[in-house]
A and B are shown apart, each in its own frame.
Chain A
Amino acid sequence: MENNHSHSISNKTYIGIWIGLLILTFLSVEASFVQFRAFAVGVALFIATAKAFIVAYYFMHLKFDSKIISIMVLVTGVVFLTFIILTFFDYAFREPIV
């Protein structure tokens, strides 16, 4: 039973991570009022992805689990990105309907 290894995160670290997530949340709200124009979506998604990564890495224990799970997460992410990118190849080049 490999699972009972106890290198878990201390409660203090957890709370630190929680505070970090809250800071990122407020950062994201603040950033949305700044006029970044084209970058606004990018900034919002970047912060969201940072938060998601922190949740997955610490709260969901990817840091400590066997690497195979992280690889699986990566594969899933790549496949999903592929869907989005390939669909955009259609919409980015659509000719406007007259």
Chain B
Amino acid sequence: MNMNQTISDHAVHRDDEASKIGMWLFLFTELLLFGGLFLVYTIYRNLNPDAFANASQELSVAFGTINTVVLITSSLTVALSISTIKDNKPKMAKNLLWLTLILAAVFMVNKYFEWSAKIHHGLFPGMEHFMQLPPGEALFFFLYFFMTGLHALHIVAGSIFIGVVIAQLNKGKIKYDDYILQENAGLYWHLVDVIWIYLFPLFYLIH
């Protein structure tokens, strides 16, 4: 996220490859941030296989699938926007990024409805129904809210990043021969997608 500031420092001798390596290293830290949670998930699911399968029935496969499709599509639009800026079509690139933001909004709205339904049932950690759940199922819902919540935060961060890119496109600071910021925003967005690719089967598809 902070890479965008540092690029301008090196206006004289800019090094896109360095920015990209920096971004990837940052992505590794994000991966391992979720990695810690995946580790907890793996251990607890292994300890409570039946409880996790039972609790998973509460989640709607349809909602999850729709959101997966939405995110994959948003990854496509980001990738396309980068290849369009390379072809020197900034307007098209911008439109594709707006489309990405719209898809991100759709994802968040879906998430909102999904979460509200669960909270309505008192499944949020600390709520009454949650406290009465059998042991393993409570862990499932704690992890569900923690991991999808953290993921949603990353969607917000990624959207802000893409917003910055759109602003820079408007100013003409990102152009066909200088688009590393957009590439890095794309990398971040794809990472958020990759994390969801794992969250989806682990939470929604246990039967």
Q: Report A-B touching, CB under 8 Å.
A: yes
Interface size on B, residues (CB 8 A): 46
Q: Is the interface of A mostly helix, strand, loop or mixed?
A: helix
* B65 and A21 contact, CB distance less than 8 A: no
Chain A 86-97 interface 0/1 with B at a Cβ cutoff of 8 Å (1 = within): 011001000000
* A44 and B86 contact, CB distance less than 8 A: no
Q: Is the interface of B mostly helix, strand, loop or mixed?
A: helix
CB of B152 within 8 A of chain A? no
Task: Give the shortest distance, in Å, between B195 (CB) and chain A (any CB).
Answer: 9
Per the bound structure, the CA–CA distance linking A89 and B36 in Å amounts to 17
CB of B182 within 8 A of chain A? no
Task: Give the shortest distance, in Å, between B42 (CB) and chain A (any CB).
Answer: 6
Q: How many A-B residue pairs have CB under 8 A?
A: 114
* B28 and A72 contact, CB distance less than 8 A: yes
* A83 and B39 contact, CB distance less than 8 A: yes
* B205 and A29 contact, CB distance less than 8 A: yes
CB of B69 within 8 A of chain A? yes
* A59 and B75 contact, CB distance less than 8 A: yes
User: Which of the residues B24, B43, B72, B198 comes within 8 Å of A48, measured between beta carbons?
Assistant: B198
Interface residues of B in 1-41 (CB under 8 A from A): 16-17, 20-21, 24-25, 28, 31-32, 35, 38-39
Per the bound structure, the CA–CA distance linking A52 and B43 in Å amounts to 22
Chain B 73-103 interface 0/1 with A at a Cβ cutoff of 8 Å (1 = within): 1011011100100100000000000000000
Please give, as numbers and ranges, the residues of chain A lying within 8 Å of B105 by CB-CB distance. none
Interface residues of A in 57-92 (CB under 8 A from B): 58-61, 65-66, 68-69, 72-73, 76, 80, 83-84, 87-88, 91
CB of B160 within 8 A of chain A? no
Please give, as numbers and ranges, the residues of chain A lying within 8 Å of B167 by CB-CB distance. none
A33-B207, A76-B32, A80-B35 given as contacts; is B72 within 8 A of A22 (CB)? yes
Q: Residues of A with Cβ closer than 8 Å to B?
A: 1-4, 6, 8-11, 14-15, 17-18, 21-22, 25-26, 28-29, 32-33, 35, 40, 44-45, 47-48, 51-52, 55-56, 58-61, 65-66, 68-69, 72-73, 76, 80, 83-84, 87-88, 91
